[in-house]
Amino acid sequence: FLYLTGQFCCGFFVILILGNFWFLAVLYLLWLYLDWETPCAGGRRSQWIRSWTVWKYFREYFPIHLIKTSDLNPNHNYLLGFHPHGVLVAGAFGNFCTGPSFKNLFPGLTPYLHIMPIWFGCPFFREYIMSAGMVSASKESVSYVLNNEGGGHASIIVIGGAEESLNAHPGSLTLNILKRKGFIKMALKHGAHLVPVFSFGENELFKQVANPKGSWLRNVQEKMQKIMGFALPLFHARGVFQYSFGLIPYRQPIHTVVGSPIPVKRNLNPTTEEIDDLHALYLQKLRQLFEEHKRNYGIPEHKSLIFE
C-alpha cells in the first residue's frame, strides 16, 4: 500500500509540472528545500493518519500481532533491532506506525521507525510517511531520537537493511548482521538500551524468484543495490480473486515479538572491543528470543537462526 502510494505521489507531482499547475510544483519545491532536514529531526507525525481505519484492515488481513515479553521503562531511550527485513517490512509498519498496540503495551514510549533516506526525497510521499512516524535512517536522525534526555523514545531500525530483503524466501532464517555494528555504536554513544525484536512470519508473505548467492540474478541485484541504495527482489504472491499469482501478500500471520532490554551505559568513545562485546551479547539475546518463541509460531525444532 505504501509503495503504491509513493508511485501515486510521484505521478501527481509530474502532473503538476506538466500541467497548468506548475506554480504549485514550484511552491512545493521551495517547501521541500526549507523542510529538507525534518526527516532527520524527529519527523512530523500525525495521530490522525496513524489511526486511519484502513490500517486496522491492513493489520487484520494477515493478521499482525505485537507480543510483549518485558516492560520497557519510559525513563530510558531504546534502540529496537527489528529482524528479519522480509520483502516489505510489513510487521514493522503495522506495529510501530499504525494502531494503538505499541502505545498500550509500552506506555510512555514514542516509536520512530527509521527507513532509507532516499524515500524522503519523493515529493508528497515524504509528508505521508513522516505522518505515520517514519524518519530517516541516517546517523543524524538516530542521534536526534536517542538524544532525548527525558527518555521515552524508541528507535526501530531494521538491522539487515535492503541487502537482507534478497534472502526473504519463505522459511528463510538468514540474517545479515555479523558486519552490521553501527547500531551498537549508536546505542553506546547515547546510552540507549538495546532490544532485539523478531517478527515471525515476515518472510512468508511473498515468494521470491530463486536467487542463490553466486547466481547471475543475485549478482545483478547486489550490484543494483550498491548503486541505488535499495534492493530489487523479484517477488510475487496472490491476486485479488485468485491465489496463484499477483502482488498482494499472502494471508500469513505475523507475530512481532519484542524481547527484553539489554542495559547499555553511555560511552561517547567506545573501543572496537567494547562494540564487539556488546554486539556478541546482542546476537546471543536475539538467538535466545528466537529459540524461546519459535515453537509458538510454527518453526520446526531443528531450525535455528543463521547469522552472516
Which tops the pLDDT comparison, 121 or 136?
136
CB-based contact 97:134 (threshold 8 Å): yes
Task: For the chain, list the domains and their CATH numbers.
Answer: 1-35 (no CATH), 40-307 (3.40.1130)
Between 22 and 153, residue with greater pLDDT: 153
Task: Quote the pLDDT of residue 63.
Answer: 97
Query: CA angle, 279 as apex, 107 and 104 as ends, to 5°?
Result: 10
pLDDT (average), residues 242-268: 93
pLDDT at 27 over 80: yes
Banded model confidence at residue 159, pLDDT cuts 50, 70, 90: very high
Range of weakest confidence among 45-49, 143-147, 239-243: 239-243
Q: Which residue has the higher pLDDT, 1 or 253?
A: 253
pLDDT at 191: 97
| pLDDT bucket at 221, cuts 50 / 70 / 90 | confident
Confidence of residue 12 (pLDDT cuts 50, 70, 90): low
Distance CA 266, CA 258 (A): 22
**233 vs 254: which has the higher pLDDT:** 254
Residue 141 pLDDT: 98
Instruction: Supply the mean pLDDT for the chain.
Output: 91
CA–CA dist 62, 57 (Å, integer)? 9
Return the pLDDT at 9: 55
pLDDT in tens, 239-249: 887 777 888 89
Quick check: 227 pLDDT over 90? Answer: no
Check whether the bond before 212 is cis (ω within 30° of 0): no
Report pLDDT for 230: 73
Q: What percent of the chain has pLDDT above 90?
A: 73
Q: What is the mean pLDDT of residues 15-43?
A: 81
Q: For residue range 116-130, what is the model confidence (pLDDT) as tens digits?
A: 998 898 888 889 899
